[in-house]
């Protein structure tokens, strides 16, 4: 199986930024965990003992985590690079006439060892890192950057690729083969294969600097997340907080050696409930500012200098390759194609969202005055008064809902949905190695009982895990010698943990996120393509995830999985009605804070010359021009905008979520029109979207499923912006 050579560094981007990727019990592994997080790293083990140099002797070939030590990674990556270099040299120097099989396919199959080690390393780095793992990243990322350039700037290899590309009309290639050929040719060109020697050297230097800067950016954010803590020792400061939040703060205090006190952190299960429920306005402000000032303290973890460097390097790279801006370079290979097309969509949604958010702000300010207070609504008040307004307007208190969203029930609900739509089954496995005791594993069986893949879930926050939720994996799906190689997929999250004698009870947002990442997992599990190097376009990859969110709140399905954790009683009709009535509540805020980040991303990447303006001044100017109201802060401020600065996967591409939202709202109409669980529609969605990966033009795939191009109206109606 080949490594996705075009994505060696892309793995760093995806696993260090996305919202697009790896969701995160064996007693013996507790010792392995302790060793990995506390013990000093031993010298690199002998080759014979390195598990990456051997066949994984485990069920389904999953990684043997109990055998993998940090010291194994560098030797394995180094040897993997050497192996692929030899293979590439053989392809490039072949005396045989170039063919699809001996060049394009051979290149795709190269780098088996890197395909084995890189998904494991970058998954662990995102889900369970430590100082030793970060030091390995500092070593291997530059090596991989150079290796990628050695491949894409290999002129002999490119000439063979180009020869096949120019004669493809005469070849009998499948659609998938044509796509792989096109992708490969474009990767070489976009990497600089057509540049002169001096320009190639400059491109190499740019890539190396970018890889180091992006890595440093992500490391700084992880450290920022972990170093902030708000320690409270006065019980009066807990006013308004639900008991589960207080209990969680007690546990956090013990873990951080603040026995007898309460600790609140920037992890979402701690941050969001505090902003929602704390009666102490000055403490809400402290927490909120702690979150939005990450990477902006003028110290060793400050990211502003890195941002200026990254933006300048990306622009220079785009210019080298003949593009006016980095956005032009990036969007040329995405569904949107142009920055104007992106802006047109953003503007279409921004205008009604801005109007809605202004109405929401007025309603919150009115509630503040009604409560006898005279202060002006600020960003750290929004969550608090929104929760109060939700309760007053719809009699809906999220604390009333959480008992019905036990994590295991929600997860099993997602499994049941997949079974009803596609006939697949998730079978718990306790015999598979895991990288942390909190991880659980499942074998996934297709409708006919055949093996479809393996699924790992890792849902709770810890200091060794980056923030957010994502989907990734330890092995991608391919077909080799006519046999399907099944994927090993992961879902990782930072959801509310069990507290005291209560299980993990999720918020509505966490429920939605679980279904979202599960949609990504289904996309990977259903994949049925031949080649590893087929890349799914960023603005299409969120369709399979976002469409799953629709089912989560449909009353017919909600009743099946939302059960009280103590009584097992299904969620009452009265609560379902409240959820339905409030489904468009706060949509102005939700949409506006996301869109502001999209505009900010595009503003950075449509620069035609490096800006000497201070990073925060630039950001403020962009948001002011948009008319973003001061009561709402952009979802990601530049110094912690990991999606676009920890790697390039979502750079000039954060708009992808709203682009895909148009697709998912339109696609879900097919189910609404025929039945939520219509197997014919589900089979068409699986066959034309989920199983095809990046094997064909995404719009062609979508039209084959839906029969026409998507319309924006279903999305605007869903958000309440149109009737």
* Beta-bridge mates of residue 478: 485
Rounded distance, CA 283 to CA 657, Å? 32
Contact 495, 514 (CB under 8 A): yes
Active-site pick, 517, 542, 631, 696: 517
Q: What is the rounded CA–CA span in Å between residue 518 and residue 167?
A: 41
Q: How far is the CA of 351 from the CAs of 286, 354, 468, 594, 626, in angstroms?
A: 31, 5, 28, 13, 10
The 3 state secondary structure assigned to 203-269 is HHHHHHHHHHHHHHHHHHHHHHHHHCCEEECCHHHHCCCCHHHHHHHHHHHHHCCCCCCEEECCCHH
Secondary structure of 315-373 as H, E, C letters? HHHHHHCCCCCHHHHHHCCCCCCCHHHHHHHHHHHHHHHHHHHHHHHHHHHHHHHHCCC
Contacts of 410 (CB under 8 A, 6+ apart): 506, 511, 514, 515, 561, 562
HEC string of 251-267 equals HHHHHCCCCCCEEECCC
Q: What radius of gyration, in Å, describes the C-alpha atoms of the chain?
A: 25
**Contacts of 535 by beta carbon, 8 Å cutoff, 6+ apart:** 4, 6, 7, 183, 694
Count other C-beta atoms under 10 Å from residue 374's C-beta: 6
Residue at token pair 């080759």? 47
Nearest to 98 by CA among 42, 160, 25: 160
Using DSSP, state whether 454 is helix, strand or coil.
strand
CA distance 222 to 580: 37
Provide the residue count of the chain: 723
Q: Are residues 588 and 719 in contact, defined by beta-carbon separation less than 8 angstroms?
A: no
Q: What are phi and psi of 426, to 5 degrees?
A: -105, 115
Q: Catalytic annotation on 517?
A: yes
Residue 144, classed as helix, strand or coil, is: helix
**DSSP letter assigned to residue 479:** E
Question: 699 and 659 in contact (C-beta within 8 Å)?
Answer: no
Residues annotated as part of the active site:
517
């Amino acid at each position: 199986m080949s490594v996705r050579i075009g994505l060696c560094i892309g793995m760093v981007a995806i696993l260090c930024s996305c919202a697009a990727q790896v969701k995160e019990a064996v007693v013996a592994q507790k010792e392995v965990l302790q060793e990995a997080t506390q013990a000093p790293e031993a010298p690199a083990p002998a080759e014979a003992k390195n598990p990456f140099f051997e066949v994984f002797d485990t069920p389904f070939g999953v990684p043997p985590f109990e055998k993998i030590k940090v010291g194994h990674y560098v030797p394995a990556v180094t040897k993997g690079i050497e192996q692929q270099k030899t293979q590439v040299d053989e392809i490039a120097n072949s005396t045989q006439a170039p063919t699809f099989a001996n060049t394009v396919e051979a290149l795709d199959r190269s780098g088996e060892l890197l395909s084995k080690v890189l998904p494991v390393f970058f998954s662990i780095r995102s889900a369970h890192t430590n100082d030793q793992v970060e030091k390995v990243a500092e070593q291997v990322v530059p090596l991989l950057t150079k290796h990628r350039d050695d491949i894409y700037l290999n002129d002999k290899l490119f000439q063979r690729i180009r020869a096949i590309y120019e004669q493809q009309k005469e070849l009998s290639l499948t659609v998938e083969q044509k796509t792989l050929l096109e992708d490969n040719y474009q990767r070489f060109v976009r990497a600089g294969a057509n540049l002169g020697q001096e320009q190639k050297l400059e491109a190499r230097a740019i890539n190396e600097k970018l890889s180091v800067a992006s890595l440093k950016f992500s490391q700084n954010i992880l450290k920022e997340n972990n170093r902030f803590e708000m320690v409270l020792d006065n019980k009066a400061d807990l006013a308004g907080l639900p008991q589960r939040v207080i209990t969680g703060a007690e546990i956090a205090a013990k873990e951080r050696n603040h026995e007898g006190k309460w600790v609140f952190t920037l992890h979402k299960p701690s941050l969001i409930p505090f902003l929602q429920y704390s009666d102490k306005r000055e403490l809400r402000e402290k927490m909120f500012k702690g979150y939005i000032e990450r990477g902006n303290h003028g110290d060793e973890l400050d990211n502003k200098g890195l941002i200026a460097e990254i933006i300048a390097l990306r622009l220079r790279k785009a210019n080298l390759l003949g593009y006016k801006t980095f956005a032009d370079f990036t969007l040329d290979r995405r569904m949107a194609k142009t920055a104007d097309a992106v802006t047109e969509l953003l503007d279409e949604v921004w205008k009604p969202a801005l109007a809605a958010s202004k109405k929401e702000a007025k309603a919150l300010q009115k509630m503040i005055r009604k409560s006898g207070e005279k202060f002006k609504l600020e960003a750290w008040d929004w969550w608090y008064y929104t929760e109060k307004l939700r309760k007053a307007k719809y009699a809906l208190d999220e604390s009333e809902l959480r008992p019905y969203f036990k994590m295991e029930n929600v997860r099993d609900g997602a499994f049941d949905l997949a079974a009803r739509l596609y006939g697949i089954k998730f079978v718990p496995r306790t015999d598979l190695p895991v990288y942390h005791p909190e991880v659980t594993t499942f074998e996934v069986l297709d409708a006919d009982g055949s093996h479809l893949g393996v699924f790992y879930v890792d849902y709770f926050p810890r200091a060794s895990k980056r923030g957010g939720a994502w989907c990734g994996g330890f092995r991608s799906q391919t077909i080799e010698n006519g046999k399907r190689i099944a994927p090993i997929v992961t879902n990782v999250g930072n959801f509310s943990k069990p507290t005291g004698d209560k299980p993990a009870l999720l918020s509505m947002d966490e429920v939605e996120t679980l279904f979202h990442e599960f949609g990504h997992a289904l996309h990977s599990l259903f994949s049925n393509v031949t080649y590893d190097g087929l890349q799914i376009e960023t603005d299409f990859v969120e369709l399979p995830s976002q469409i799953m969110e629709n089912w989560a709140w449909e009353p017919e399905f909600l009743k099946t999985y939302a059960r009280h954790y103590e009584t097992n009683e299904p969620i009452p009709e009265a609560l379902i009605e409240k959820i339905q009535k409030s489904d468009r509540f706060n949509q102005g805020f939700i949409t506006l804070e996301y869109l502001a980040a999209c505009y900010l991303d595009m503003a950075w990447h449509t620069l035609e010359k490096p800006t000497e303006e201070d990073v925060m001044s630039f950001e403020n100017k962009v948001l002011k021009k948009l008319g973003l109201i001061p009561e709402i802060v952009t979802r990601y401020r530049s110094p912690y905008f990991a999606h676009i600065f920890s790697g390039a996967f979502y750079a000039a591409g954060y708009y992808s979520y709203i682009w895909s939202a148009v697709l998912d709202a339109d696609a879900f109409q097919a189910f609404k029109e025929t039945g939520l669980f219509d197997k014919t529609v589900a089979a068409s969605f699986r066959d034309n979207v989920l199983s095809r990966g990046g094997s064909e033009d995404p719009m062609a795939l979508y039209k084959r499923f839906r029969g026409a191009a998507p319309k924006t109206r279903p999305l605007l109606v869903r958000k309440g912006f149109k009737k």
